[in-house]
Amino acid sequence: MDAVTCTAPVNIAVIKYWGKRDEALILPINSSLSATLSQEQLCAKTTVAVSGQFTRDRMWLNGKEESLENPRYQNVLREIRRRARKRKIAGEGKGTSLSDALSWHVHICSVNNFPTAAGLASSAAGFSCLVYSLAKLFRIEGDISEIARQGSGSACRSLYGGFVSWNMGEKDDGTDSVAEQLVTENHWPELQILILVVSDQKKHIGSSAGMGVSVKTSELLRYRAEHIVPRRMKEIETAIQNKDFQTFAKITMQDSNQLHASCLDTYPPIIYLNDTSKQIMHLVHKYNDFCGEIKVAYTFDAGPNACLYLLEEDVAGVLAMVNHCFPPIEQNGDQYIRGLQVEEL
Ligand code: 2P0
């Protein structure tokens, strides 16, 4: 038996991916950009093992066996084995266990250290970790973001640290729809992310289904993908390279708001934000106005939880404000925030 264990962190998009032009290959209608959290934070941990004694491919997610029948898992496993076979045929790995491993079955065991399906990009960390672990196990080299993308679009961005773009690409076969590191995790160490867990409930409509309906029905989404995202990608890349927090923060909030506006423009509408999310948005703008410049930026994915981008020097002040306005409550050992009217302050 041969086994590999890896961890992969969640990524938080500042230019959002929402919508596919090819459902099977997972090709997006626009490019996107995210920051990957550091390893010890919200992450997936996956062990993959291959053995001649295993009778079929199997997977356990957070201790519970899950079916591998989903085409996304099948696509990932098929592509990993295809690339490993190519390496073997090319002469590499001959006489090593790679030859055996190719005809053996795999067992996959993955755990998340955060609530699954609460809009915290669990599939990004999960598929990124799975593909990276399998690539190590089968000794695959070269770009694997194309494989991770076929597991879950946003997963390709979690393969790298720092800020990572996922270029939408132009080709129909998806070979140019890959992730690319813009800057490493050492580029902007002062930049911090706070995650305010508003709810760990499963979302009412998952991202994949939601974006499918949006692509079919939202004119705003189409306009955004064609006319707005290309410009914003360039502007935010420059802002990140120059560590220009004011520009970075403004675009981040605008892009989050446009994602949720596109969700509302979807028919029937999709609403991921709840009252607490809206209160957080309101509070952030009030705080920034009070400070006379942008100190903190919010961004929301397909759920009500808020991700705040801010500089290290402002963490204490913002945390004090958040704790004051949204006193934390404990539930099953985790801390959640409780909504209050910001006007009460
Ligand atoms: C993002 N989200 O850019 C956006 C923002 C959610 C809102 O990527 O169908 O789980 O697996 O490709 O990757 C969530 O989409 O969807 C997502 P699939 P995925 O982070």
Give the residue-averaged pLDDT of 52-79.
95
pLDDT in tens, 154-175: 999 999 999 999 999 999 999 9
**Confidence (pLDDT) at 336:** 62
Residue 97: predicted pLDDT: 67
Pair 6, 192: CB distance under 8 Å: no
Q: Specify the pLDDT at position 344.
A: 37
Dist. CA 264 → ligand 1 center (Å): 17
Check pocket membership of 122 for ligand 1, CB cut-off 6 A.
Answer: no
Residue 314 has pLDDT above 60, yes or no: yes
Quickly state the pLDDT bin for 150 (edges 50, 70, 90).
very high
- Residue 153 Cβ < 6 Å to ligand 1: yes
Residues of the chain with pLDDT > 90: what percent? 80
pLDDT tens by residue, 176-186: 999 999 999 99
Residue 345 has pLDDT above 90, yes or no: no
User: Which pLDDT value is given to residue 117?
Assistant: 44
Domain ranges within the chain, ordered by starting residue: 2-183, 191-344
Q: Is the C-beta atom of 154 inside 6 A of ligand 1?
A: yes
Q: What pLDDT is attached to residue 292? A: 98
Give CATH for domain 191-344: 3.30.70.890
Residue type, 248: F
pLDDT band (50, 70, 90) for residue 338: low
The alpha carbon of 290 and the centre of ligand 1 are apart by a number of angstroms equal to 34
Q: Which atom of ligand 1 is nearest to the CA of 208?
A: 9
Of ligand 1's listed atoms, the one at least distance from the Cα of 18 is 4
More confident residue, 11 or 90: 11
Who wins on pLDDT, 3 or 199?
3
- Residue with the smallest CA separation from ligand 1 atom 9 is 208
What pLDDT score does 100 carry? 78
For ligand 1, is residue 301 a contact (CB within 6 Å)?
A: yes
> pLDDT by residue (tens digit) across 202-253?
778 999 999 999 999 999 999 999 999 999 999 999 999 999 999 999 999 9
**2-183 with 191-344: one CATH topology?**
no
Q: What is the mean pLDDT of residues 47-70?
A: 95
- Asked if residue 307 has its Cβ within 6 Å of ligand 1, the reply is no
> pTM above 0.80?
yes
pLDDT digits (tens, 9 = 90+) for 133-148: 999 999 998 999 999 9
In this predicted structure, the answer to whether residue 95 has a pLDDT above a threshold of 50 is no
- Class of 2-183 per CATH? alpha beta
Query: What local confidence, expressed as pLDDT, does residue 120 receive?
Result: 67
pLDDT at 119: 54
**Integer-rounded Cα radius of gyration of the chain:** 21
Q: Check pocket membership of 305 for ligand 1, CB cut-off 6 A.
A: no
Confidence at residue 115, expressed as pLDDT on a 0 to 100 scale:
62
Asked whether this complex has an ipTM greater than 0.90, the answer is: yes
